[in-house]
A and B are shown apart, each in its own frame.
Chain A
Amino acid sequence: MARRTRHSNLLFDGSDWNFATLSRTYEAIREVALEDLRLDTYPNQMEIISSEQMLDAYSSIGMPLMYRHWSFGKHFLQEQHLYRKGRRGLAYELVINSNPCITYLMEENTMAMQALVTAHASFGHNHFFKNNYLFQQWTDASAILNYMEFAKSYIARCEEKHGVSEVESILDAAHALMEQAVFRYRRPPRLSSAQERERLRDRLDYEERIFSDLWRTLPQRKDGERNDEDEREAQERKKALNLPEENLLYFLEKNSLILEPWQREILRIVRIVAQYFYPQRQTKVMNEGCATFVHYTIMNALFDAGRISEGAMLEILQSHSNVVFQPGFDDPRFSSFNPYALGFAMMQDIQRICTEPTSEDRDWFPDIAGNGDWRETLLGAWANHRDESFILQYLSPALIRKLRLFVLSDDAAQPHYQVASIHDERGYAKIRATLAHNYDIGTQQPNIQVADVDLLGNRHLRLQHMVHDGVVLTEESRDATLRHIRRLWGYDVTLVGIDEGGSQVYEAAA
């Protein structure tokens, strides 16, 4: 107590934490976040967990509730293996896009780390989840936990009823198509678990109502008698199928002729989970950049106000600089761009452009340079962009020079790489566009669509892969995935690669 009265302004002292200091620190951080940075967040729920529970959370793709599947167990074993061998540390926190926003704090963290993590996750990420347009449009934070609860119990019930291996084979196939299970352009309907259950019951009721053993005994109709009608029906059905369709799982769920109602429901669950995570994958750089910028700003504000001791601040800064470390391309530690580093650098750069612009910045960013209100500018950027558009709009020549970016073109046909652009007058625009392009998930993932299906004939499902720049698919994985599709579809499946000129590059069948 004596120490505390001497440094009455400090939020905490030493590295141990308890719920009183956590709570006091949270309040101080909240004050800065809401009043200074003008963040707008969901209510927070902080959960203290042990390292083992963190591993659990890791392996179920970060959801607190998840249905059971062996692949999560595999990820658990892999993570555990790496962790035990000391090859990989665990994250300090994990945050879930839900309302209230759930943040997991590791019990091993020191108090300084808990403060950092609170600012990073409970305010940075939380604000981003609540305000970014992608999350607003595509996910429903208040419903996701309820939905996952429904999904978990539904799949558990299916396992009881139909056997674990039956359910597993459907999930295996669905997981293989997860990347192709999102609507990229169309907005999915809102989900609510109550409606979901209602719908499910209706569907089952309907199935039961229309079941009649008599259908089996209907005589075969005679050839030619109703040809015109068949033709018309075919047209109508093709139109109803809404082809081409990019969401393969959606297509299979709605149109596969061999699936039972419960199997369709499982496809739907996997599809909804994929859709829920889709915005996160499009905003890695922004999301982490936003959270890192927020924690950096808040921690500095608290330090300036004398509320964090120098020792704690040093620890925070050390951890911060580890997080935003970006090795150069020739560094053995280099693997790819660190989204934390790129995002944080861009946020800081925007702040600089708003407050201390150079004449170059005025040329490149006439609308924001020197407007002085970096807070509003950043809030606007966080709300209205995804990685691709954000980089395309805000990556400045100054930052390109600072990071010494260059474009390397890689043509599989050539025995060498070629440096296409570097950080000079001629290269800025090209580097910016290329980097933005590389963060466009739509081009980084194969563009595969359902092209045609002959429902009245042999029910052959034809998929089309739009090949860009000659980039084809990994064959082994492709064929295995096609076999999964075949399992869900029940009839022949072909995948055709079509290049920009419309000519066929390859054809694969299962």
Chain B
Amino acid sequence: MPNFIDRRLNPKDKSLGNRQRFLSRAREELKRVINDRVKTGKIADMDGEQSVPVPVKGTGEPSFRHAESSGKREHVLPGNKDFIPGDRLAKGGGGEGGGAGTGSPGFGDAEDDFRFVLSREEVLDLFFEDLELPDMVKLDLKEVVAYKPRRAGFATSGSPTNINVGRTMRNSYGRRLALRRPKQEELDDIEAEIAGLAAYPGPTAETLLRLAALREELEKLQRRRRLVAYVDPVDIRFNRFDRQPVPNANAVMFCLMDVSSSMGEREKDLAKRFFVLLHLFLKRRYERIDTVFIRHTHEAQEVDEETFFYSTQSGGTVVSTALEQMRRIIDQRYPSGRWNIYAAQASDGDNAATDSEYCVDFLNDELMRLCQYFAYVEIIDERESDIFRSPDHGTALWHAYREVSQVWPNFQMARIAKPGDIYPVFKRLFAKQPASPARS
């Protein structure tokens, strides 16, 4: 007697653990590949692409296998048509078909072609895994999401105040038509006729018959009218509202960049890369964040993202104008009591002679009190990177900012000489910080 067991209701994901193990194993490998890609300077491409196919090296399963292309071997194949012993066939030719290449069974290498396709989101997730904006204290506290009702179609249930009359009546009319609800006019006509007939004093047999028929008809119609209601509960439609979260952007990131003529193509490119990275990071990690782009030469202006990255301007260099502009914007739109303010500045370190002093004073007295965090990256020449290895040496602005960083722990500065530097610097500036005193 067979033993039948119905296993269909058993828990399904028996190999879930295995899948997770595989993905986490692949994840490490993918992360390595992506970090490599970023280091070699393709971050701008990463934003555009929708998916990145990645060969999975760390998940190969090696074993001792015979190499297909070595030594002598003999295959037995079916389907000979006109070969006789001694015939020769060129290798890799069409005459062979897929024959001898796969002649020995079970030695296919299909596994090696296994590739993952990652979406852009997943790539960025992997990329930013270890990074976090520092000191998000205020944001954490204010992370209450506000909801706002938004129209979203119709529903069959709801509160009476939300009844949609037009929709309800349309349904009612359709239903009345379909079920042939007698109209008031029909009833009125019949009643009039009955009244007319009944008014005659001497009813003939014919009129009596007609009266009886009319009365029956009237009663039928009236009953039908009672059965088919004018507005039935099934007709009623309510306006439906979804509670939609309102983005509660109470952190703001200021991106300041020098676009003056002293910034060459290379410097601009590096600065742009830094901001692209930063921008991707913000967009990815913190959905509720405002970003303000301020570019400056000898005068500063707030611009949109497109202009910030892709348009150029010429002029002198007065860094303080950007700082002042930032201060103005904070006053106008981002009161520091309600916003976390972060700033990142990229520059080549050039500044008008007397301006650096003013910048330091301005930062110390005004901006640093308002900012949660201020990151300064200086784009330097690759040849200079050796000279400027020590933080004590540097440009005028660098020296000036050194003073600020000594006073304010939340002021960070770093130098970038080549694309490969950006990522480590970025990582250092925004590394997850061990529980800062402000958090406790």
Binding site for B on A (CB under 8 A): 19, 22-23, 26, 30, 43-50, 52-53, 55-56, 59-60, 68-74, 76-78, 100, 104, 107, 122, 164, 168, 175-180, 326-332, 334-337, 403-412, 414-423, 426-427, 431, 434-435, 437-438, 444-446, 448, 465, 467-478, 480-481, 484
Taking CB atoms, residues of chain B closer than 8 Å to A71 are 18, 22, 59, 61
What string of 1s and 0s marks CB contacts (under 8 Å) between B52-94 and chain A?
0000000111111111111111111111110111111111000
Whether the Cβ atoms of A438 and B67 lie closer than 8 Å is no
Taking CB atoms, residues of chain B closer than 8 Å to A331 are 79, 97
Whether the Cβ atoms of B100 and A410 lie closer than 8 Å is yes
**B179 within 8 A of partner (CB):** no
**B102 within 8 A of partner (CB):** yes
Nearest CB of chain B from residue A53's CB, rounded to whole Å: 6
Whether the Cβ atoms of A469 and B72 lie closer than 8 Å is yes
Whether the Cβ atoms of B104 and A444 lie closer than 8 Å is yes
**B393 within 8 A of partner (CB):** no
Taking CB atoms, residues of chain B closer than 8 Å to A328 are 78-79, 81
A68-B17, A408-B100 in contact; A474/B105 too (CB < 8 A)? Answer: no
Whether the Cβ atoms of A334 and B72 lie closer than 8 Å is no
What string of 1s and 0s marks CB contacts (under 8 Å) between B275-319 and chain A?
000000000000000000000000000000000000000000000
Query: Which of B25, B65, B74, B97 contacts A334, CB < 8 Å?
Result: B97
Whether the Cβ atoms of A419 and B85 lie closer than 8 Å is yes
A74-B114, A480-B62, A481-B62 in contact; A417/B2 too (CB < 8 A)? Answer: no
Query: Which of A72, A406, A444, A480 contacts B80, CB < 8 Å?
Result: A406
Q: Size class of B's contact patch? A: 35 or more
Smallest Cβ-Cβ distance to B94: which chain A residue: A330
Whether the Cβ atoms of A76 and B19 lie closer than 8 Å is yes
Whether the Cβ atoms of B62 and A329 lie closer than 8 Å is no
Bound complex: CA of A331 vs CA of B70, how far in Å?
Answer: 25
Taking CB atoms, residues of chain A closer than 8 Å to B78 are 326, 328-329, 337, 403-405
Given contacts A329-B78, A410-B103, A477-B64, 4 further A-B contacts (CB under 8 A): A46-B4, A78-B114, A409-B74, A480-B62
Bound complex: CA of A69 vs CA of B103, how far in Å?
Answer: 31
**B3 within 8 A of partner (CB):** yes
Whether the Cβ atoms of B97 and A176 lie closer than 8 Å is no
**B96 within 8 A of partner (CB):** yes
Bound complex: CA of A179 vs CA of B62, how far in Å?
Answer: 11
Smallest Cβ-Cβ distance to A481: which chain B residue: B62
Nearest CB of chain A from residue B67's CB, rounded to whole Å: 5
Whether the Cβ atoms of A68 and B63 lie closer than 8 Å is no
Taking CB atoms, residues of chain A closer than 8 Å to B77 are 329, 405-406, 408
Bound complex: CA of A71 vs CA of B60, how far in Å?
Answer: 9
A49-B7, A469-B73 in contact; A417/B91 too (CB < 8 A)? Answer: yes
* Among listed B8-16, B322-330, B364-372, interface-contacting one: B8-16
Whether the Cβ atoms of B18 and A438 lie closer than 8 Å is no
Bound complex: CA of A426 vs CA of B87, how far in Å?
Answer: 16
Taking CB atoms, residues of chain A closer than 8 Å to B97 are 329-332, 334
Nearest CB of chain A from residue B327's CB, rounded to whole Å: 51
Whether the Cβ atoms of B22 and A70 lie closer than 8 Å is yes
Nearest CB of chain B from residue A309's CB, rounded to whole Å: 22
Whether the Cβ atoms of B8 and A334 lie closer than 8 Å is no
Within 8 A of A (CB), among B99-139: 99-100, 102-106, 108, 111, 114
Bound complex: CA of A434 vs CA of B77, how far in Å?
Answer: 11
Query: Which of A50, A175, A179 contacts B64, CB < 8 Å?
Result: A179
Bound complex: CA of A48 vs CA of B25, how far in Å?
Answer: 33
Query: Which of A177, A426, A471 contacts B66, CB < 8 Å?
Result: A471
Smallest Cβ-Cβ distance to A59: which chain B residue: B15
A53-B7, A73-B20, A404-B78 in contact; A419/B87 too (CB < 8 A)? Answer: yes
Whether the Cβ atoms of A336 and B74 lie closer than 8 Å is no
Taking CB atoms, residues of chain A closer than 8 Å to B14 are 53, 56, 60
**B213 within 8 A of partner (CB):** no
Nearest CB of chain A from residue B256's CB, rounded to whole Å: 44
Whether the Cβ atoms of A416 and B90 lie closer than 8 Å is yes
Bound complex: CA of A328 vs CA of B97, how far in Å?
Answer: 10
Whether the Cβ atoms of B63 and A176 lie closer than 8 Å is yes
**B21 within 8 A of partner (CB):** yes
Query: Which of A59, A68, A473 contacts B65, CB < 8 Å?
Result: A473
